[in-house]
Amino acid sequence: MRLLHTSDWHVGIRMRGRSRIDEHTAVLDEIATIVEMNGVDVVVVAGDLFDSSAPPPEADELVWQTFLRFAQAAAHVVVIAGNHDNARRLRALEPLLRLGGVTMVSEPRRPDDGGTWALDVDGTPLRIAALPFVSQRSIVRADELMTRASYEHRQHYTERYKALVDVLTESFDVDGVNVLVGHTHAVGGAIGGGERAAHVRDEYAVPATVFPSSANYVALGHLHRAQKIPGPTAIHYCGAPLALDFGEADGARQVNLVELTPRAPAAVTAVPLTAGRRLRTITGTVDDLAAIAAEDRNPTWFRAIVTESRQSDLSDRVRALFDDEVVEVLIDAPTTGRRDVRGDRRVGRSPIELFDAYCEDESIDDPRLTALFAELLEEHA
């Protein structure tokens, strides 16, 4: 059977205040087309459907339409909640999604309550175990936080997480295909750069040994960089389909197409995704950046680092070169290193002279600022 693994959509995310819904529309259409063109039997979405617990209406519409499109093309669609998702909100929608052929698991559940279920794919038994994101506060109690050391919290979290996995995968049958879907931080996984920092700490990292060898494939979400985790079976992150922040600009974007056969290792093929803007950091003087702006280029989000003396309109000049493609302008001007606030440096100097000295120390080369300062000083004298 053929399974498609995707995760970490973060629909509704904004790039420094700018909407990315057009990018998400394009990349989810690309993923749905891959499902339709490759005879996929099972689609797995391993959490973080949305970027926030209260996504905008256009994000809701896009995600639900994509799920229904998956369901029209594949026999089974399985979705779990991630740490960015509102589990209670998704739980309320589970019955409606089931009517559309989508199985949603919003919170950790017992095997007999929807945590594990058996399917049939063209005569081959398939068991799927689902474990949405498990927060530390769900496992480590308040009194333990006050009395135990941090390494004991990590150990306790790992032990309890493994116990959950063991219960969910207890019914895995070697004569069929077994898949575990989770949203977690596996030890050794490379962080993409756009993850929520509080949820990729060591306290949340679990070793690959918590995943059983009886699973033909472990489909993980949470880390935004596509990667294989060494372990007792095929353990994979497929990564986010869009680069979500500049720390992820260099990562490949993909979904995993997985061939599954009983008693055989999973065969995993990375299918590249091309939709969405590039994220690029550019550095130089305004003239250097103007040369980049003149190039023919694909749609891109730019972070510009300007390496010349500070001026009041420097950011505006850079933004004018790239229209709305520049989402952040940083000034990296060298300082003189002479900043000194001792009283003897101020004695006998006028406010204008002190302001000029400050501008020199900060590599601010803009006579208009000095003139404006003098005007304000005169008005308030």
Q: Does domain 2-272 have CATH number 3.40.920.10?
A: no
**What tens digit of pLDDT does each residue of 111-170 get?**
999 999 999 999 999 999 999 999 766 565 444 444 555 556 578 789 999 999 999 999
**Angle in degrees, CA 104, 265, 101, rounded to 5:** 20
Give the three-state DSSP class for 280: strand
CB-side neighbour CA atoms (13 Å) of 26: 10
**What tens digit of pLDDT does each residue of 184-232 get?**
999 999 887 666 555 455 666 899 999 999 999 999 999 999 999 999 9
> Is the pTM of the predicted complex or chain greater than 0.85?
no
Judge whether residue 340 has pLDDT over 90: no
**What tens digit of pLDDT does each residue of 59-70 get?**
999 999 999 999
**CB of 87 closer than 8 Å to CB of 81:** yes
> What residues does each domain of the chain span?
2-272, 278-379
Q: Which of 151, 108, 154, 147 is nearest to 131 (CA)?
A: 108
Q: Which of 114, 119, 121, 112 is nearest to 90 (CA)?
A: 114
